[in-house]
Chain A
Amino acid sequence: MILLPLALALAILFLPGDEARQARAARWIGLGTTLVLFAAGLVLWARFDPSTAAFQFTERAELFGGLFSWHLGIDGISLVLILLSVFLMPLCILAGWDSVKTRVPEYIAAFLAMEALMIGVFASLDIFLFYIFFEAGLIPMYLIIGIWGGKRRIYASYKFFLYTLLGSVLMLLAMLWMAFTAGTTDIPALMAYDFPAAAQGWLWAAFFASFAVKMPMWPVHTWLPDAHVEAPTAGSMILAGVLLKMGGYGFIRFSLPMFPEASVAYMWVVFALSMVAVVYTSLVALVQADMKKLIAYSSVAHMAFVTAGLFAFNTQGLEGAMVVMLSHGVVSAALFFCVGVIYDRLHSRDIDRYGGVTTNMPRYAVFFLLFTMASIALPGTSGFVGEFLALTGIFKADTWVAFVMATGVILGAGYMLWLFARVMFGAQKNADAAAMRDLNAREWAVMVPLALVALWMGVYPKPFLVPLKAPVQSLMARLERADAPQTPHSLPKQGGPVQLAAVTESVAR
């Protein structure tokens, strides 16, 4: 059985050539293509068999002379992330519909290329193919920030590019060593390969360098606020919505299953960095005067939940981390869009410029409130499910870490609500801010799907959790095997099911 969207993804790469000169045509083609891909994504979801952890819809071709191969396939984790990408993409195109006026065909082409590459990242089953897709995403993003970005766009685009490139090249060396040692470039084969424990530490560190930058984790997050602030609205949406998820995906796909021993050994590093990130970036977010920067810092804080959840090594933590990623993908994209809406009207992101927006934009205020609530994880929104699961998982692994992480939730409520209050309530300070019109049809079309999904994930998250079950189970099995010999000695604090499972495992042997 051969996968459809990837053939489509490749086709997109050639599409820009056919694009008509007119911006109009380009926009409609872009929207049409992304919608078709979204439909294809839904078909994929419907046909996906959630009961197995094996990769489905695989396709393989030896196109590259035996050095590596064109090998694609998805499991539940890739599925949900692909769905997230194809869901956000048409909305991104809509978000930039009116605000981008120059060089529209190139703009749309860059976004379509991004989409193809993102699907490629989540679906590739060959490490070099993965690396190519992973890195290739930098180029369209560099162009998006650099051409259509704000005032300091050049600085931001350089910083974004070189930062992430530096992180990734070390991963490339680790990949070369792995391919050389294991004799295969196949991801499923490598996931089952046991690398010597001594080498795992180095390999883990090299992969960590790449994914931590991409994620981004404190202290290598500094490219993110710059990139977000300068990128156009749709660029921020895709950056926050999907690109950051590549880091988390990388941890799940590579670091955890391929280097389980090293992952256990360096768990404390990740926990420590995540704790710092949650508290520090939340505090930084609190004092931002720029709306986009504030949301960017909140992204770093949310991603810390993901990393801590992943490295809690239990089912709740892993699933929670995945749900946080999905939820953050939707919610942060929505928040950036919200900022984009008023930015389009006033061309300012300063919180002080606004005030009392509720009066003249009541409908907009409702949506902004909803996404604010989702961001601070109010029950009933998508954020709650993810953060609750992740915190449960972290709590089982280590109570103190969970305690510190939970303060992040409180601080998060603080900075988001304060942002909302300053922008939406209070006196109408500026006449032009008071004269802004409410949402138009296009903005409704973007807001409504985002809001529906955020609520759906909050109220009934099961459809999103089901595909995750099997791969998370198999990942757990892999981690426990690695965990078994060391847990009781080296990690005395770690309690709960991980240890229990490890013990049962060793008894069963």
Chain B
Amino acid sequence: MNLQQSLAIGAPEVVLAAGALVLLMLGVFRGDRSLRGLSWGAVILFGAAGATILAGSPDRLLAWNDLYVADSLSAFLKILILVGASASVLLAIPYLERVKANRFEYPVLIVLATLGMCVMVSANNLLTLYIGLELMSLASYVLAAFHRDETRSTEAGLKYFVLGALSSGLLLYGITLVYGFVGSTDFTAIAAGLRAGEERNLGALFGLVFVIAGLAFKVAAVPFHMWTPDVYEGAPTPVAAFFASAPKAAAMGLFLRVALDAFSGMVADWRQLIVFMAIASMFLGAVGAIGQNNIKRLLAYSSINNIGFVLIGLAAATVAGASAVLLYLAIYLVMTLGAFLCVLALTDVDGRSVEKLDDLAGLARSRPWLATALSIFMLSLAGLPPLFGFMAKLAVFNAAVEANLWPLAVLGVLASVVAAYYYLRIVKILFFDPPADVVMAGQGGALVNSGMMAAAAIFCSPLGFLLLGPLAAASRRAASCLF
């Protein structure tokens, strides 16, 4: 396979890499004034990358000496990542201008992180995986500390970096173990090597545990979740929105590929880990969120909780399970972005962000539409019918039931009831409580953000069910290329 073919197959990444450099140069020469232009440039870039994905062949294609794979799974995830990244770039503009952190690096860093994620989901080799993951992570560390004048943001960046570096180390150690005991880092070769061996490959099992730990850190599954609440709270809100959306989808997609492709011969081994992480994440996320008074911390626990449900789909290790994971990710991405859009819109008359839950009391009087949108996202994250978030939960439970994982399914629905409590608490604060002292800013705000919020709210409303057909078909197609 020559270079030209490889470049053609890897077109999305090529576009992103070249575009990132162009944006960086533009930013250097035009200065911080160009934030707005660069942001829209980044969105156009994402659009172009998306177009190359949609125009690409749906078949499974390998490139760069089998280091890189393009199939319908990677296409599905890349579209999700690009949507999440585009929204994260756009929603940040008003915030960054308000807090005077409007430096041009923001869109460039997001583009670089997105490039890393695209490489991750297209990895067909543990080393490609590592390169993609590191590219994403390094850009993310900087993003977390983006608001450098504020201590909390710097603290978040540092925390994220230290723990992230630890998890990268674990991952790399796992990769070396797998390489040592199986003899290859190529996914196909690992799968073949594991299947060929007669007895259990204990060394590879050790490696697998480390790899899973590294990945679990990125998706913030319990017990590797500790960084999430602090980082979400400390990082600038748009960055937290970004962390909660695209990287989750990328890391979870990668998880699917590693578990079901490379280690498909060891399902019984890794399933125990996944089941434990799923149960622990669901319950810890649900219980931990109850006492929170900061909406960003609460959303962090909500993301832990939701990742638990996603892992149920992975634990099923079937086509239905994998497609449920993808469907869940797609719906979750929109819900969580919508929720962060609402958080961004919560400002008082002086333009300061309002993050305390108590200060949101009675929001339904002062900003009825915002309160309605936030309630839709909350109830949808809780997975209550008739909102679209219910469909995501239904899909993973369906997979668990089909795979005969009864205890997991029963614990899952119980956890969802526990979680419903804190989501309902927000609705209660917004609608039932008497208005708080904080004077909220009036209607208005950025038109683009309101538009995105409305679109996300409609997607999560019962109308979202009309999109279920194409979404389910796409996720099934993407999932079936793993089996």
The answer to whether A176 touches B379 (Cβ under 8 A) is no
| CB <8 Å contact, B386 and A173 | no
B398 & A146 in contact (Cβ 8 Å cutoff): no
- Would B471 and A65 count as touching, CB distance under 8 A? yes
Contacts of B465 in A (CB 8 A): 63-64
Q: Is B451 an interface residue (CB 8 A)?
A: no
Distance between Cα atoms of A147 and B434 in the complex (Å): 10
Note all chain B residues with C-beta closer than 8 A to A62: 469
Residues 98 to 142 of chain B near chain A (Cβ within 8 Å) = none
Q: B472 an interface residue at 8 Å Cβ cutoff?
A: yes
Q: Which residues of B contact A142 (CB under 8 A)?
A: 424, 427
> Which B4-31 residues have C-beta < 8 A from chain A?
none
Q: A136-B385, A143-B431, A169-B417 are in contact. Are A65 and B469 (CB under 8 A)?
A: yes
Using Cβ atoms and an 8 Å threshold, which residues of chain B touch A154? 428, 432
Cβ–Cβ contact B394 & A161, under 8 A = no
Q: Is the CB of A158 within 8 A of B384?
A: no
Kindly identify, within residues 42 to 97 of chain A, every residue whose CB is under 8 Å from any CB belonging to chain B: 62-67
A134 to B401, CA, bound (A): 21
B428–A157 touching, CB < 8 Å: yes
Question: Interface residues of B toward A: which range?
Answer: 20 to 34
Contact of A135 among B385, B413, B472 (CB under 8 A): B385
Could you say which of B384, B385, B466 has the most chain A C-beta atoms within 10 Å of its C-beta?
A: B385
Would you give the shortest CB distance from B88 to chain A, in whole angstroms? 28
Known contacts A63-B465, A161-B420, A166-B417: does B472 contact A172 (CB below 8 Å)?
no
Q: Is A131 an interface residue (CB 8 A)?
A: yes
Question: Nearest CB to that of A135 among chain B residues?
Answer: B385
Most A CB contacts (10 A, CB to CB) among B379, B401, B410, B469 go to: B401
A147 touches which of B420, B432, B469 (Cβ 8 Å) = B432
A17 to chain B, nearest CB (A): 11
* B417 x A66 contact (CB < 8 A): no
| B386 lies within 8 A of A133 (CB) | yes
Looking at A134, A147, A161, the one whose CB has the most chain B CB atoms below 10 A away is: A161
Is B472 in contact with A132, judged by CB distance below 8 angstroms?
Answer: no
Q: Most chain-B CB neighbours within 10 Å: which of A128, A133, A176?
A: A176
B410 x A65 contact (CB < 8 A): no
Partner of B469, one of A63, A117, A176, A180: A63
**Residues of A close to B273: CB separation below 8 A:** none
Q: Does the CB pair A67–B472 fall under 8 Å?
A: yes
* B468 adjacent to chain A (CB < 8 Å): yes
- A65-B469, A132-B386 known; A169-B416 Cβ under 8 A: yes
A205 located at the interface, meaning its Cβ lies under 8 Å from any Cβ of chain B in the complex: no
Roughly how many angstroms separate A134 CA and B390 CA in the complex, as a whole number?
A: 13
How many interface residues does A have (CB within 8 Å)? 37
Knowing A65-B468, A147-B431, A173-B410, the reply to whether A138 touches B384 (Cβ < 8 A) is yes
CB within 8 Å for A177 and B428 given contacts A63-B466, A136-B386, A166-B417: no
In whole angstroms, what is the CA distance A435 to B417 when docked? Answer: 48
- Asked if B384 contacts A139 (CB within 8 A), the reply is yes
Which chain B residues lie closer than 8 Å to A139 at the CB level?
Answer: 379, 384
A413 at the interface (CB under 8 A from B): no
- Would you give the shortest CB distance from B94 to chain A, in whole angstroms? 26
- Cβ–Cβ contact A153 & B417, under 8 A: no
Residue B397 is within 8 A (CB to CB) of chain A in the complex: yes
Q: Please indicate the chain B residues that have their CB under 8 angstroms from the CB of A64 in the complex.
A: 465, 468-469, 472
Task: Mark contacts of B422-455 with chain A using CB atoms, 8 A cut-off: 1 yes-contact digit, 0 otherwise.
Answer: 0010011001100000000000000000000000
Q: Are B397 and A162 in contact (CB under 8 A)?
A: no
Question: Shortest beta-carbon distance, B427 to chain A, in Å?
Answer: 8
In the complex, are the beta carbons of A176 and B397 less than 8 A apart?
A: yes
The CA-CA distance from A180 to B431 in the complex, in Å, is 39
The answer to whether A170 has its CB under 8 Å from any CB of chain B is yes
List, in ascending order, chain A residues with CB within 8 A of B432's CB: 146-147, 153-154, 157
Within 8 A of A (CB), among B390-424: 390, 394, 397-398, 401-402, 409-410, 413-414, 416-417, 420-421, 424
Minimal beta-carbon separation of B377 from chain A (angstroms):
14
Contacts A64-B469, A146-B431 given; does A172 touch B413 at CB 8 Å: yes
The answer to whether A283 has its CB under 8 Å from any CB of chain B is no
Query: A132, A153, A154, A179: which has the most chain B beta carbons within 10 Å?
Result: A132
Whether B197 sits at the interface, judged by CB under 8 Å, is: no
Contact of A165 with B by CB under 8 A: yes
Instruction: Please provide the chain B residues from 196 to 253 with a CB less than 8 Å away from any CB of chain A in the complex.
Output: none
Name the 8 nearest CB pairs between A and B, nearest first.
A65-B469, A169-B413, A132-B385, A136-B386, A65-B472, A176-B401, A135-B385, A146-B432
Chain A residues engaging chain B, CB cutoff 8 angstroms: 13, 62-67, 117, 128, 131-136, 138-139, 142-143, 146-147, 153-154, 157-158, 161-162, 165-166, 169-170, 172-173, 176-177, 179-180
Known A-B contacts: A64-B472, A135-B384. Give 5 more (CB < 8 A): A136-B462, A146-B432, A166-B414, A173-B401, A180-B402
